[in-house]
Each structure stands twice: as C-alpha cells, then as structure tokens.
Chain A
Amino acid sequence: MRRKTSRLLRGIALLSTLALGATACGGSDDGSDQKAVSASDIQAALKKGGSVTVWAWEPTLKTVAADFEKKYPKVKINLVSERSGDKHYTALSNAISAEKGVPDVAQVEYFAVSQYSLTKGLTDLAPYGADKLASKYTPGPWNAVSEGKAVYGLPMDSGPMALFYNKTVFDKYKVAVPTTWDEYVDAARKLHKADPKVYIANDAGDAGFTTSMLWQAGSRPYKVDGTTVKIDFSDAGAKKYTDTWQKLIDEKLLAPINGWTDDWYKGLGDGTIATLATGAWMPANFVTGVPGAKGDWRAAPMPAWTKGDKASAENGGSSLALPALGKNKELAYAFVEYANSGAGVQTRVKQGAFPATTAELQSTEFQSTKFDYFGGQEANKIFADSAANVADDWSYLPFQQYANSIFNDTVGKAYVSGTKLADGLKAWQDASVKYGEEQGFTVEK
C-alpha cells in the first residue's frame, strides 16, 4: 500500500514538473515579435464592437466604464469589482494557469506587475502604442509598468507618499509637526508622554509600508535583471530605517493596530493614531472611512532622513494590464487607454482618485483644489511635489506577492517579540532567497 502511494505521489510530482516545463517552453517565444497594432485597427475594432471583461476593484472605474460604453455604444464593458488584493491575484493566477476565464483587462498593483510579466502572463502594450505614452506619467509608476522597451500596463493611480497628521492632537499637546524622522521620534515620545493613549502611528508590521519606507530611505534591497535576482537588506538606507524604527518599537510608541481594519478607522478618528505616512490616495478613504474627524487632519511632506532632503517614495497604486490569454485585445487596450490616459483620467480625478499622469498633477485646477476634509488645505500641491521627487530606480521582486505574504512570519516578529527589526529583515531576506531559488530564479548572494 505504502509503495503504491509513493509511486502515485512520484507520478503526480512528475506530471506537475512536466506541466510546468510545458508552460515555460510555450511561453518563451510569445510576444517577442508581436505585430504593431495601429490606431486605425483599434478604431475599426471599436466600430465593430464586442465585450471586454475587466477585473478591477478601483471604484472610480464604474463611471469610466459607463462613459466608455456611451461613447462606443457597440462595446460592452463587463466590470467585475468584487475581489481585491490577494483574492484578486489568486483568482487571476488560477484563471491563467487553468487557461480559462481569464479577464481581458486586469487591475495589477505596481508591486505585482513584474510577477505577471516575467511569467508571460501579460501582453506587451508597446505594439499598441503604449510606449509613446511614457512622458505622460510620473517616473515611479512608469518605471513599475515598463521593462526595457516593453510596457505591461498603463498606470491607473499612484501613491506618492505624504505625512497625514491629526492637527488637533498636535495642537493640543503643543508638539511641532516633524520634518525629519529624528523629529518624528521626538514627537512620538512627547505625544505618548502627554497622553499614553496617543501613538504617533499604527504599525503592526506591513510589508507595503516597510518597503516604501526603505525606498524613501534610499535602500534598494531588490535588484532584478530578468530571472537574476539579488536581495539584500543590509545597505546604508536600510540601516537608517531600522535604527529609527527600532526606537519607536522599543519604546512602544507605535499602536499595535493593523491597517484597513475597523480599529484602524476608529483610531484615525478618535486621535489614537496621530500620523499616517502613506500614499496620496488616502484622502478618499479619510472622507468615507473617518467622517467624524473632518477638519482634524492635514497633509505634510514626508519627514526627511537628512534635513532638507526631498526624496520621496511610492506606496500602493496600480495599473490596468491586458492578461496574455485575454480576448478582444484591441478593445481592451482602447478601454485601458481611455481610462488611464484619455478622458477617463479627469473623471477619476474628480471622484477622488490620485492620478499618475503629469498633466493632471501639474494642472492648476488640480493643485488648487481645496480639501474640505483637511480644513481647506490645498493638499495636492504637497502630493504633486512628492510625486516629482520619487526615485525611479526602485524595483520589486518578481515574486513580491509571495514575499509580502511571509512578511509577518519574519519581520513581523520584531513587533511582538525581542527580535530586532534588522534581524527580522535578514530573516525575510533568507526566506525570500530560498523561495526564489526554489522557483528557479538565479539568486545572487
């Protein structure tokens, strides 16, 4: 019996290896000699009509899809928006590996683009004319969707970082709004001393936040060249970040609240969480999620690592991409182009989305928008400034989604036990290296 089982298992293992090999071979020569698709081809497709299935949870796309259908009455946009984040990627990966039910357009966050492009899961949009759009976008997002000459998606929104702070809390305890991270630690101590219920920020371990902080600090832990990957969390930038953040952790100055939970929204509303360093898309969530604190919050530039330094980073943000197995590519591209480069951008900005296009970011109308929620502050000036100062040489791992999923098992320990943050990052590095090797990447040591 046992013998039989093990043979069976071996059989299954062999089969799966074969299957993997087959996909790898099948994918290798796709896309390299794609025919160029002219604008007139796309126009012809739009006239002919058809349907496009879009998997995207970005809320503003609903209006954009309706507008698009109005403009091209023969095209039907089937927007599926129920899944977001991990659930979305699981469904997308499942559909791609089953070669069944793959959407024609999918929302892909910047950190996950290379994961899908490397496995030939996404269509190169350069032959459709996307390569000519490079100058329309800010450097951070464009760098995330392009690889050499290939373009794997059009940036939909971006998240240049800013420091949101609860002005009421800072005024009450007469603490100055920090402009450097050293001042930030000081402010954290003062606020928590004045009222033990007040924390400078919430952080219970969040991969997206940590990588963005490393990005701003000048650390470049990931180097990716095709299937060759290097992971190293020991550069000077990473040390700057861990030294500072370790102080906040050791002195228990961070509220142990996970982001995006009801506790988090409550903490943002009642003054428990005094600042939030995050992407410029946050105002929309403030307005609906924390309506009670209207007028309390303001935006400020990210604290600097050395006084006067303006370096910023991106947090979050996503693109719309065309999965390689999707259908109606001309129509799909036309929709993506409309939503993320054409008239759709204005529609989305009006509904509170934060654009990735320089024209919108630099327009006076955008910059002079007064945010009622922030007491009439023209916060977009700060955000646009941040977007212009994002270093564009950052890259995520081609298996970032997996790496993020093991963040809490490794770095997360630093938040709950005596493990040092730097050691946690080292453990994350080791686990990521191991996984990368298992997946067949060449991992440089």
Chain B
Amino acid sequence: MSSPLTTDSPATPAKTSSPARNAPRLRGPRRHTPGKPRRSLLLTVLTSLVVLYTVVPLIWLAINATKTQAGLADSNGLWFSSDFALWDNIRDTFTYDDGVFTRWLLNTLLYVVLGAGGATFLAILGGYALAKFDFPGKRGIFAVVIGAVAVPGTALAVPTFLMFSKMGLTDTPWAVIIPSLVSPFGLYLMWVFASEAIPTELLEAARIDGAGEARTFFTVALPLLAPGIVTVLLFTTVATWNNYFLPLIMLKDSDWYPLTLGLSVWNSQAETIGGDVIFNLVITGSLLTILPLIAAFLLLQKYWQSGLAAGSVKE
C-alpha cells in the first residue's frame, strides 16, 4: 500500500529513501522519492480538512474541560473562559456522587481486559488454525466469518439480549463480556496476518524437531504474530471501551455501568426536574475517558500501522 500522499511515485520500499533524508539539504531540483513525494495542493487541502474534522472536536473537548458550568454558558466554545477550572473539574469528576466515576472506570477496564483480551485471544487461536491447518469446511467458515464482519454488533444486540434474558444473564457483567468475546473482524485479520507472517516451513521444521502443536504455537508462531496481535487488541479495545448500545440494553444496575453509560446518565440529569446540571463534569469525564485510548494509540502506533498494512506488499 502506498502512502496516501504519494501520487505518482513508484512503489519502492520505504527503506531506500533513508539515505536521502540523511543527506545535506541542498537547494536543487525537487526529486520525488517515496520519502519526499511531490506536493499536491488539492490533497494537502483535503487532508487538512480531514485533520480539522477530527481534531477540532478534541480541541473543543480539551478547552471546555477547563470551564465551570457558568463558564460553559458565557464563553466562546473554542476558547478558554476567564476561570481555569480543569483541576477542580477533575477532582469533582472523581468525587461526585461518592466517586461513582471510579467505579465506572473500573467496570470499563474489566470489560476491556476480559472482553477485548478474550476476543483477541480467541481471534489468535482461530486465525492461526484457519491459516495453517487444512480441514473440511474451511471455505464454509470463511464465508461465515466474512458475512459476520458485515453485520454490525448493534444489529445483533437485541437478539443477544433476548437470548441472555432467557439464560438469566442480563444485568450481570457477563452480559457485556461474553458478546464482546466475539470479534469476526479480529479473527479475519489474524487469519490474513497469520498466513502471511508464519512461513509453513518453519512450522514443519518445528514439528520435525519434535515440538508438539501447542509448543509450536506458543514458542514459534506467537512471537511472529506480535504486530497482528497488537492491532487486533487495539481494535477490540476501542470497540469494547466505546461500547454503548450493548451495555445500555443489558444492564439496569448502575453499579455495572461502563463509562459510556455513566456519562450519559450524568448528561441526562440536566433533563430532569431538580436535577443537578453538571455539563462541566460530563465534558471533563469524557476527556478523561478518551485519554487512555489516545495513550494506547500513540504508544502502539508502530504496531498499529504495520498491522494495518499487513499483506499489502508482496515480497
């Protein structure tokens, strides 16, 4: 896959351009290498628009998290108000209503660790098996997985609810964790990644050396899958962290709410008679909610990109 900014440069591997970057800067005829593609005004404008579109809401969130409830109403949304209340807001977010925010944060972490972690683990096992073993019905499974990728989780939420309701599992954390364990997209990604990243010869060599299937998987295959694992983990983490609809219909007891539901409860307080209006805490809470995700993305960026591009260049 060529980088989106490249328009007409040949698809040379990126590594060849590193000497050019280290070379002294000379004013000369501009050369269009993959490391320094030709500039296109149209593409620059379009990318800037996309950047604005994605960054402005974040900036808005960060700026408004510094305002009090009064400041929110009488200052411009895209600039700071006279009083800087970020630290107060953060403290209030964690102490409001006997620190219920912390409880929601821990719930979200629980769902992410068990749900997204479990989904990733299952995707690795399944993807590896589908990529490296031949068995009857593989094509059928492929069709089912591809079909499942096309069905959004939201569409399955209500049938899942009815099923869980029969099993008596609604209003328990399991009702959120178990459906999160299934990630068709993660499975598909692991499948594609595993078939590219693990040479079959390597597995055969391991088997000839006398390693059992489990050992081959854990000591030979797993390290090779690391970038793919991180990608799938990020995907499922984001999906579980931001999950709103599933917990909304599954959970009644606010003690098991994740952050998404909790924040929406805080927001709806403003719609009730005598309700405590805490838009400032809703905004600060939202900011705090997305910080871990942003951190995860920045720290794991390398894996994330290589995972996305997996299989795009045939070597």
Which residues of A are interface residues toward B (Cβ below 8 A)? 57-60, 80-82, 84-85, 91, 101, 157, 159, 260, 262, 265-266, 269-270, 279, 281, 284-285, 288-292, 316-318, 352-353
A353→B274 CA distance, assembly (Å): 7
A159→B269 CA distance, assembly (Å): 18
A262→B271 CA distance, assembly (Å): 10
Residues of B within 8 A of A269 (CB): 70, 73-74
Interface contact B252-A80, CB-CB below 8 Å: yes
Residues of A within 8 A of B273 (CB): 58, 157, 159, 279, 281, 284-285, 316-318
Residues of B within 8 A of A270 (CB): 73-74
Interface contact A265-B272, CB-CB below 8 Å: no
Residues of B within 8 A of A84 (CB): 268, 271-272, 275
For the complex of A and B, the 9 pairs showing the least CB-CB separation, nearest first, are A289-B277, A292-B70, A269-B73, A260-B271, A291-B70, A284-B274, A288-B277, A266-B73, A281-B273
From residue A331, how far is it (CB to closest CB) to chain B in Å? 20
From residue A79, how far is it (CB to closest CB) to chain B in Å? 10
From residue A435, how far is it (CB to closest CB) to chain B in Å? 25
**Given that A265-B279, A291-B68 are known contacts, is A281 also in contact with B73, CB under 8 Å in the complex?**
no
B125 within 8 A of A: no
A59→B270 CA distance, assembly (Å): 11
Residues of B within 8 A of A60 (CB): 274
B8 within 8 A of A: no
Residues of B within 8 A of A318 (CB): 273
Residues of A within 8 A of B279 (CB): 262, 265
For the complex with contacts A59-B276, A262-B279, A269-B73, 13 further pairs of A-B residues with Cβ separation under 8 Å are A80-B254, A82-B265, A91-B252, A157-B273, A265-B279, A269-B70, A281-B274, A284-B274, A284-B275, A285-B274, A288-B278, A289-B277, A291-B69
A317→B273 CA distance, assembly (Å): 8
Of the residues B253, B257, B269, B274, contact of A157 by C-beta under 8 Å:
B274
The residue on B at minimum CB distance from A279 is B273
Among B73, B257, B268, the most chain A Cβ lie within 10 Å of the Cβ of B73
Interface contact A85-B272, CB-CB below 8 Å: yes
Interface contact B252-A101, CB-CB below 8 Å: yes
CB-defined interface of B151-166 with A at 8 Å, one 1/0 digit per residue?
A: 0000000000000000
A262→B279 CA distance, assembly (Å): 8
Residues of B within 8 A of A353 (CB): 274
Residues of A within 8 A of B265 (CB): 82
From residue B139, how far is it (CB to closest CB) to chain A in Å? 28
Residues of B within 8 A of A290 (CB): 70, 73
Interface contact A58-B70, CB-CB below 8 Å: no
Residues of A within 8 A of B257 (CB): 82
CB-defined interface of B271-301 with A at 8 Å, one 1/0 digit per residue?
A: 1111111110000000000000000000000
From residue B209, how far is it (CB to closest CB) to chain A in Å? 58
From residue A204, how far is it (CB to closest CB) to chain B in Å? 15
Residues of B within 8 A of A352 (CB): 274
Interface contact B270-A57, CB-CB below 8 Å: no
CB-defined interface of B239-268 with A at 8 Å, one 1/0 digit per residue?
A: 000000000000011100100000001001
A437→B278 CA distance, assembly (Å): 43
Interface contact B275-A57, CB-CB below 8 Å: yes
A285→B279 CA distance, assembly (Å): 13
Residues of B within 8 A of A289 (CB): 69, 270, 277
13 A–B contact pairs at CB < 8 A?
Answer: A57-B275, A84-B268, A157-B273, A265-B73, A266-B73, A269-B70, A270-B74, A281-B273, A284-B273, A284-B275, A292-B69, A352-B274, A353-B274
Of the residues A82, A265, A281, A292, contact of B270 by C-beta under 8 Å:
A265
A318→B275 CA distance, assembly (Å): 14
The residue on B at minimum CB distance from A95 is B252
Residues of A within 8 A of B278 (CB): 288
From residue A255, how far is it (CB to closest CB) to chain B in Å? 15
The residue on B at minimum CB distance from A264 is B270
Interface contact A265-B274, CB-CB below 8 Å: no
Interface contact B277-A285, CB-CB below 8 Å: yes
A91→B72 CA distance, assembly (Å): 33
The residue on A at minimum CB distance from B75 is A292
From residue A106, how far is it (CB to closest CB) to chain B in Å? 13
A353→B272 CA distance, assembly (Å): 12
Residues of A within 8 A of B72 (CB): 262, 266
Residues of A within 8 A of B271 (CB): 84-85, 260
Residues of A within 8 A of B68 (CB): 291
The residue on B at minimum CB distance from A262 is B279
A316→B254 CA distance, assembly (Å): 26
A91→B68 CA distance, assembly (Å): 34
From residue A89, how far is it (CB to closest CB) to chain B in Å? 13
A279→B273 CA distance, assembly (Å): 9
The residue on A at minimum CB distance from B68 is A291
From residue B35, how far is it (CB to closest CB) to chain A in Å? 47
Q: Which of B81-139 contact A (CB under 8 A)?
A: none
**Given that A80-B254, A82-B265, A84-B268 are known contacts, is A292 also in contact with B274, CB under 8 Å in the complex?**
no
From residue A76, how far is it (CB to closest CB) to chain B in Å? 14
A288→B257 CA distance, assembly (Å): 25
Of the residues B69, B70, B71, B272, contact of A57 by C-beta under 8 Å:
B272
The residue on B at minimum CB distance from A266 is B73
From residue B271, how far is it (CB to closest CB) to chain A in Å? 4
Residues of A within 8 A of B274 (CB): 58-60, 157, 281, 284-285, 352-353
A266→B269 CA distance, assembly (Å): 16
